[in-house]
Chains A and B, each alone.
Chain A
Amino acid sequence: MAGVAESSEIATAVGSVSPQRLKVGDALALQDGNMLNGYELVYETYGTLNAAKSNAILVCHALSGHHHVAGEYADGSIGWWDNIVGPGRPLDTHRFFIVGVNNLGGCHGSTGPSSINPATGKEWGADFPIVTVEDWVESQARLADHFGIDAWAAVMGGSLGGMQALQWSLQLPERVRHALVIAASPKLSAENIAFNEVARQAILSDPDYVAGRRPERGLRLARMLGHITYLSDDQMADKFGRRLRHGEYRYGFDVEFEIESYLRHQGDKFASWFNADTYLRMTKALDYFDPARHHGGDLAAALRVARAKFFIAAFSTDWRFTPARSREMVNALVKNGQTVAYAEIDSPHGHDSFLIPDDYYHALVAAYLQRVTL
């Protein structure tokens, strides 16, 4: 869920890309009761939509992601999931038309807290409505309409993106043929919500936020906390251990252990560009996601409506959304007699594993997508 690819070792296979923008005139009735009278979605595409419009894959992003999934911008920034997209890669652009979109409420160009509220002529800021996974699916459907895509060949995502793929299959079951739900969960646990709440409190209690300014300290803390949950204990031990920056104890509160330095760096980097009101909303969208809620907690009953075939994958060291959480979805689908393949992938990289190239993982996604008929 780092969201932004960090120094990808593999060069982009997609090449130069640039974002595009869709203006949606229709009003959107949000789950929180608010009405959004028109909005914009910023998106990117890779590959070519075929004449039958049957080869489109929607890639949904996670908490801090965006529409720049693959390829390279003029400024050199590479898409966050570039390693899996391109000619000959699992999301093969020779075969598929791949669409990345920035979610509503995001801070990368789609309508969100940093957009102008037409009613006031000022930035929405904290007044922007709360958006949910359901709202995102509804808005993303307008993008499918725009392309004339009746049904996505697949909707795919990791983490919160995986939840969107699942929600697509339930909310618009006729419009998604395959759902690839990776490193996700059918709902957050109390522990997951607890982490999100601490992150939100870090922002909400920052005096800068209260005063209407950019809460860099709060965002920094939120990201540091979040980042811990994206990694694994093993990986942290391996990468940092108890290594000291200065080789000896200094008995103070400056950076001493390398892990402190790393987290501070991650926090600073994130706080310098991410929108706090977006961060608050993304974490709420995670917390609210619970498709079984309308079925008395019965996940199988909730999933029964899906027409899609499923590919579900989890990673061995992911303690944020453990393999057991993915198994809940698998077991529900099996109970219903629905089509599902599930892989539990050995990886040391914790929750972030879904972003990191791995031979077995990528071979599975490629093999699964090979069977998708166009």
Chain B
Amino acid sequence: MTDVMTDTRGNQICRADFSVIASWVQPGERVLDLGCGDGTLLSLLIEQRGAIGYGIELEDEAVLAAVKRGMNVIQSDLEAGLSGIGDATFDHVVLSRTLQAVRHTEGILREMLRVGREAVVSFPNFAYWKNRTAVMAGRMPVSEDLPYEWFNTPNLRFFTLLDFEALCAHMGLVIRAREVLDENGELVQQEHNFLGSLAVYRLAVR
């Protein structure tokens, strides 16, 4: 299931969540990818799923790479970038591996579900067994899906599948689907909060 892709510096990166996200997008649907980077996911959704895709990205280098790919990229701060976009403009609004780096967690989820019919969110699971083991051993975890040291991580929030689902319940959001992946990008079939390294959710407003 793992898709091997290259990032803006030509390094191979594995974005297992991309194939899960792609499987949820139907031809002709409108997708907004928040923090779209060089447009890898967007081009996948356009080429393989026939979607109409837009992305929001802040970093110059990534915007330039997305323009080179011919993507509909909008250079903007993630949280401010949605404000001018009308209600229900998109079928899916994607936030891939970024929720943990956003300050206003509830605000961004609400905005995603204002401009889109559905929010698609993926994030690293802090309760993944290897992370637990690291903490038990007295160290902050560094893994495939949490690839930073504590002193250089852009991540602001560390949470688990159970934490996230509690937030969804608190916000009145419906979980339409959930896929959980291990560090190799393989689907996890049981003990999700223990065996899952990365989670992907489809959310809607109740």
Contact B73 A341 (CB under 8 A): yes
Interface centre among B63, B67, B70, B85 (most CB of A within 10 A): B67
Contact B64 A342 (CB under 8 A): no
Interface residue? B30 (CB, 8 A): yes
- Once A339-B72, A342-B74 are accepted as A-B contacts, the answer to whether A360 and B60 lie under 8 Å apart by CB is yes
Contact A334 B85 (CB under 8 A): yes
- Once A341-B72, A341-B73 are accepted as A-B contacts, the answer to whether A334 and B67 lie under 8 Å apart by CB is no
Interface residue? B68 (CB, 8 A): yes
Interface residue? A367 (CB, 8 A): yes
Interface centre among B52, B66, B75, B85 (most CB of A within 10 A): B75
Interface residue? B161 (CB, 8 A): no
Q: Which of B66, B70, B89 contacts A334 (CB 8 A)?
A: B89
| Chain A positions 344 through 369: 1 when the CB is less than 8 Å from some CB of chain B, otherwise 0 | 10100000000000001001100110
Q: Whole-angstrom distance between the alpha carbons of A343 and B81 in the complex?
A: 12
Contact A340 B72 (CB under 8 A): yes
Number of A-B contacts (CB under 8 A): 51
- Once A328-B84, A337-B30 are accepted as A-B contacts, the answer to whether A364 and B64 lie under 8 Å apart by CB is yes
CB distance from A1 to the nearest CB of B (A): 23
Interface residue? B198 (CB, 8 A): no
Chain A residue numbers with a CB within 8 Å of B76 are 327, 342, 344
Q: Closest chain B residue to A335 by CB distance?
A: B86
Q: CB within 8 Å of B: which of A306-350?
A: 311, 327-328, 330-331, 334-335, 337, 339-344, 346
Contact B84 A360 (CB under 8 A): no
Chain B residue numbers with a CB within 8 Å of A335 are 85-86, 89
Q: Whole-angstrom distance between the alpha carbons of A341 and B69 in the complex?
A: 11
Q: Which of A328, A331, A344, A363 contacts B75 (CB 8 A)?
A: A344
Contact A343 B54 (CB under 8 A): no
Chain A contact residues, majority secondary structure = helix
Contact B64 A334 (CB under 8 A): no
Q: Whole-angstrom distance between the alpha carbons of A341 and B60 in the complex?
A: 13
Chain B residue numbers with a CB within 8 Å of A330 are 74, 84
- Once A334-B74, A334-B89, A335-B86 are accepted as A-B contacts, the answer to whether A343 and B63 lie under 8 Å apart by CB is yes
Q: Closest chain A residue to B28 by CB distance?
A: A337
- Once A331-B85, A342-B75, A364-B64 are accepted as A-B contacts, the answer to whether A337 and B52 lie under 8 Å apart by CB is yes
Residue count of chain B within 8 Å CB distance of chain A: 20
Chain A residue numbers with a CB within 8 Å of B70 are 371
Contact A331 B67 (CB under 8 A): no
Contact B71 A367 (CB under 8 A): no
Contact B67 A367 (CB under 8 A): yes
Q: Whole-angstrom distance between the alpha carbons of A346 and B64 in the complex?
A: 14
Interface residue? A31 (CB, 8 A): no
Contact B71 A341 (CB under 8 A): yes
Q: Closest chain A residue to B74 by CB distance?
A: A342
Q: Which of B52, B67, B68, B84 contacts A327 (CB 8 A)?
A: B84
Chain A residue numbers with a CB within 8 Å of B71 are 341
Q: Whole-angstrom distance between the alpha carbons of A367 and B84 in the complex?
A: 26
Q: Whole-angstrom distance between the alpha carbons of A370 and B68 in the complex?
A: 8
Chain A residue numbers with a CB within 8 Å of B52 are 337
Q: Closest chain A residue to B71 by CB distance?
A: A341
CB distance from B149 to the nearest CB of A (A): 29
Q: Whole-angstrom distance between the alpha carbons of A368 and B68 in the complex?
A: 6
CB distance from B203 to the nearest CB of A (A): 21
Q: CB within 8 Å of A: which of B57-100?
A: 60, 63-64, 66-68, 70-76, 84-86, 89
- Once A337-B52, A341-B72, A344-B75 are accepted as A-B contacts, the answer to whether A363 and B64 lie under 8 Å apart by CB is yes
| Chain A positions 13 through 28: 1 when the CB is less than 8 Å from some CB of chain B, otherwise 0 | 0000000000000000
CB distance from B183 to the nearest CB of A (A): 35
Sorted nearest first, the 10 A-B pairs with minimum C-beta distance are A331-B84, A342-B74, A367-B68, A367-B67, A343-B75, A344-B75, A371-B70, A360-B60, A341-B67, A341-B73
5 contacts between A and B (CB under 8 A): A334-B72, A335-B89, A337-B52, A363-B64, A367-B68
Contacts A337-B52, A360-B60 supplied; 19 other A-B pairs, CB < 8 Å: A311-B67, A328-B84, A330-B74, A331-B84, A331-B85, A334-B74, A334-B89, A335-B85, A335-B86, A340-B72, A341-B67, A341-B74, A342-B74, A342-B76, A343-B63, A346-B60, A363-B64, A364-B67, A367-B67
